[in-house]
Amino acid sequence: DPEILRPGLSVRAEVAHATATAEHHAALAGARLEAQVKRIAFEKAERKLVAAREQLASLDVHAPRDGVVLIGTHPWEGRKLKVGDNIWPGLTIVRLPDLSDMVVQARLDDVDDGRIHAGMAVRCFVDAFADRPLAGHITAVSPVAQEVAQLSTRRYFTVRIELDEADPEILRPGLSVRAEVITRSIDDALLVPRTAIDLLTQPPRAQRAAGTEVELELEACDAQRCAVRSGLAEGDRLRTLEAHG
């Protein structure tokens, strides 16, 4: 009967169907595994992207208030930080000072250590307004000297000076200031340039413009001037040490 299939053909058809079904399931399982691997890789990449965005956002510096921004100083080269410099946690890159509480931070040569201490009166002169001295006093002197620059033999102490009355019209963060420490006050003293007095002689001497030498009695001297008690009068013209050899 032509409608009756032979048993061998039926078995082969079932085997082929089973093989195709197995291959289909294997391919489907492989596709699912590949999809799972790609999904895991995608989730990992997504987490890295989120972390990178968070790290990038953490580099933004938000000022807590309006004000003047001061760029930080390179710790080794002594210059202001600039674009391209490497930075690290803990390095001050910018500062936003409180202009209502201005202080002077000065450097004291290590050779003067012991002569300057907290509480001493100070006169400060802003370079841009040298004719307007500002009174203040020393509040702190650093206990340890620092190098002026890397590998330098020169050292200094940091001196903090608080101004008795800050003038907001002339004071700005970062301005250069010259500070004079008042170690002694002398009333009605005749001030003479130190370069006109020979301090190597005893007693000290000065030479008038006419060439005559006079012996002096001094009260005290600073780096630029000496207070003369006797030996000269106001208006006397003197030669400097360079002028008379």
**pLDDT tens for each residue of 57-104:** 887 878 888 888 888 888 888 789 999 999 888 898 888 887 777 889
| 65 & 122 share domain | no
Q: Residue ranges of the alpha helices (H) in the chain?
A: 7-58
| 150 & 211 share domain | no
**CATH code at position 125:** 2.40.30.170
Q: State the DSSP string of 50-99.
A: HHHHHHHHHT----SSS---EE-B-TTT-SB--TT----TT---EE---T
| 193 & 231 share domain | yes
| 170 & 113 share domain | yes
Give me the domain span that covers residue 227.
186-245
| 167 & 230 share domain | no
| 193 & 238 share domain | yes
Contact in structure between 158 and 141 (CB atoms under 8 Å): yes
Enter the pTM of the model: 0.52
| 89 & 141 share domain | no
Name the residue with tokens 């060439």. Answer: 211
| 109 & 173 share domain | yes
| 128 & 71 share domain | no
94-140 residue pLDDT tens: 888 877 778 899 988 876 767 788 999 999 998 888 888 899 999 99
What backbone torsions phi and psi does residue 45 show, to the nearest 5 degrees? -65, -35
**Domains: count for the chain:** 4
Task: Return the bridge partners of 108, or none.
Answer: 157
Last residue of a domain, one of 157, 182, 207: 182
**CATH code at position 236:** 2.40.420.20
| 208 & 239 share domain | yes
- With 0-12 / 13-18 / 19 or more C-beta atoms within 10 angstroms meaning exposed / middle / buried, residue 197 is buried
Last residue of a domain, one of 167, 182, 197: 182
| 47 & 9 share domain | yes
User: Above 60 in pLDDT, residue 243?
Assistant: no
Straight-line distance from the first to the last Cα atom of the chain, in angstroms, rounded to the nearest whole number: 145
DSSP conformation class of 174: T
